[in-house]
């Protein structure tokens, strides 16, 4: 069993589909009022029916007061890392720190190339992402930024603005090399959906992250673990992912927190999104917080 002791946080996925903006707007407002920690949004700009995630996220920050936002995950092949850091720092300053930056190497090479991005193989994508994290961390800290690397060439500029609270850099991925980058260079690892990375796979992936972190002189416990959880709460049948009553969700997420080391859960409702998000926030989240606190207190 693994529990890194990180504080728990909970969020919900917000759809970036243009035709679902009214629902996404309501979900954002509801999540804010319900006390959820995060609103997460995909980044697939080559989809004609999708908003640009950064534009939508910025719009929804004006509809909310306390909930934070993160890209789940921003495509580094299409979003130059220094400009992405500039955008994240700017939005963080404007919202009082309500931004985390989830990034990934980009998984759909044909679509990326079709939109003008680079076409890179697996190993090259990993190296590209690791350099990008170094650049973004430097840019978010402010001051002079310069990197003449194998994949990025930034000849020097003065970065800013600098948020009062650092913008977390979270990396999405599931293969060993990218997990190693998360351990060496990221503030958190974002796992794909539970239907793609099953719970029993999490310990092995955590081990890779932990070993890479130690080799880099880092404490693995400082790296957050974010899990995207597809499913439904209630008497649903035949759905994919985690499906069951609120009690089942509570027991499962508690076990994933204290047994697998997950500290942040992002709910992706299968259906009836508004009502499902409401049940998640009202019934599941407080119960998981209580049970995890009880388990940790008994150790």
Return the SS3 of 156.
Answer: strand
Q: 175-207 pLDDT, tens per residue?
A: 999 999 999 999 999 999 999 999 999 999 999
pLDDT at 120: 87
Q: How high is the pLDDT of residue 7?
A: 98
pLDDT for 109 equals 87
**Distance between CA atoms of 33 and 72, rounded to whole angstroms?**
22
- In three-state form (DSSP H/G/I as H, E/B as E, the rest C), the secondary structure along 233-295 is ECCCCCCCCEEECHHHHHHHHHHHHHHHCCCEEEEEECCCHHHHHHHHHHHHHHHHHHHHHHH
Quick one: pLDDT at residue 250? 98
Give the Cα separation of 259 and 50 in Å (integer). Answer: 36
For the chain, what is the radius of gyration of the CA atoms?
19
Q: Identify the pLDDT of residue 53.
A: 97
DSSP state of 217: T
| Spatial distance between the Cα atoms of 173 and 284, rounded to a whole number of angstroms | 27
- Torsions phi, psi of 60, nearest 5? -75, -20
Q: Are strands 188-193 and 224-233 parallel, antiparallel or unpaired?
A: parallel
Retrieve residue 54's tokens: 């950064």
Rounded distance, CA 112 to CA 183, Å? 26
Altogether, the residues listed in the chain come to a count of 299
Q: Residue 108 has what pLDDT?
A: 84
Contact partners, residue 285, CB within 8 Å, separation at least 6: 10, 35, 36
What pLDDT digit, counting tens, does each position of 55-70 carry? 999 999 999 999 999 9
Domain 9-298, CATH number (from 3.40.50.1970, 3.30.499.10, 3.20.20.30, 3.40.50.300): 3.20.20.30
Low-confidence ranges of the chain (pLDDT < 50): none
Say whether 138 sits in a helix, a strand or coil.
helix
Cβ atoms within 10 Å of 222's Cβ, excluding its own? 11
Tokens 């035949």 sit on residue? 238
Report the DSSP beta bridge partners of residue 145. 157
How high is the pLDDT of residue 263? 98
- In the chain, how many H helices and how many E strands? 10, 12
Reported for 132-135, long-range contacts at CB under 8 A and 24+ positions apart, including other chains, are 132/76, 132/81, 132/103, 133/81, 133/103, 133/169, 133/171, 133/181, 133/185, 133/186, 134/185, 135/81, 135/82, 135/85
Q: Does pTM top 0.95 for this prediction?
A: yes
């Amino acid at each position: 069993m693994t529990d890194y002791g990180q504080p728990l946080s909970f969020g919900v996925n917000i759809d970036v589909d243009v035709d679902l903006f009214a629902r996404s707007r309501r979900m954002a407002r509801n999540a804010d009022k319900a006390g959820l920690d995060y609103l997460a949004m995909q980044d697939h700009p080559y989809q004609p029916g999708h908003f640009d995630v950064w534009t939508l996220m910025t719009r929804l920050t004006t509809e909310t007061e306390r909930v934070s936002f993160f890209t789940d995950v921003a495509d580094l092949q299409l979003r130059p890392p220094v400009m992405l850091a500039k955008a994240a720092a700017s939005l963080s300053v404007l919202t009082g720190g309500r931004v985390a930056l989830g990034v990934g190497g980009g998984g759909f090479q044909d679509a990326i190339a079709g939109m003008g991005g680079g076409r890179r193989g697996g190993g090259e994508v990993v190296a590209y992402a690791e350099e990008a994290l170094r650049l973004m961390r430097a840019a978010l800290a402010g001051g002079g930024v310069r990197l003449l690397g194998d994949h990025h060439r930034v000849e020097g500029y003065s970065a800013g603005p600098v948020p009062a609270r650092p913008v977390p850099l979270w990396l999405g991925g599931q293969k060993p090399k990218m997990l190693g980058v998360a351990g060496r260079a990221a503030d958190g690892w974002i796992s794909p959906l539970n239907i793609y990375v099953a719970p029993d796979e999490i310990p092995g992936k955590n081990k890779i992250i932990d070993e890479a972190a130690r080799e880099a002189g880092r404490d693995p416990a400082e790296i957050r673990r974010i899990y995207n959880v597809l499913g439904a709460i209630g008497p649903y049948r035949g759905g994919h992912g985690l499906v069951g009553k609120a009690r089942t969700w509570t027991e499962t997420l508690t076990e994933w927190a204290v047994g697998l080391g997950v500290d942040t859960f992002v709910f992706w409702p299968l259906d009836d999104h508004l009502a499902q998000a409401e049940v998640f926030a009202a019934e599941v989240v407080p119960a998981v917080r209580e049970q995890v606190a009880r388990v940790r207190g008994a150790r």
